[in-house]
Amino acid sequence: MLSKGLRDEEKEKINELFNSMLNIEFVPELWKNEQRQKLSDNLKKILDITLDDVETQSTEVLLEKLKSADFEFSHYEQFADLLLKSLPFEAEARQSMLAKKAVAVYETAQQESKMFSFGLIQKINKARTLL
């Protein structure tokens, strides 16, 4: 069990990594050769999974992995934001599956926040349109 100071430090690192990934402008030419790998490397640091793992694991396994990482609701939301941001650059066959996982992660974020969020509901609805 980590002390509160170490937990806060770890959560701050996670926030910084997610923010840096969300601030990257994905470019189709760079996505396949460079950006996808960088995204996978950062996910590996945070969750010990890659983008390929996210795509191949069941939604239940993915949510369990997020839960075991002691994610706060904001981390769930950032993770789902990242999935949606990468979605247009993935193969068409994978897009619906990633959207489905993003919906599940957003719904978990809504439950974890213990407060109703119109922003999350909008994100859930947007992700559902991509199914």
For residues 57-65, average pLDDT = 96
Helix (H, G, I), strand (E, B) or coil at 127: helix
For the cut 70, the answer to whether the pLDDT of residue 1 exceeds it is no
Segments of the chain assigned E as strands: none
Rounded to the nearest 10°, the torsion over CA 83, 94, 47, 34 is -80
pLDDT attached to residue 42: 94
75, burial (CB in 10 Å: exposed 0-12, middle 13-18, buried 19+): buried
pTM of the predicted protein model: 0.92
For residues 49-71, average pLDDT = 94
pLDDT attached to residue 10: 85
pLDDT digits (tens, 9 = 90+) for 5-39: 777 888 899 999 999 999 999 999 999 889 999 99
User: For residues 84 and 99, is the Cβ–Cβ distance under 8 A?
Assistant: yes
pLDDT attached to residue 84: 96
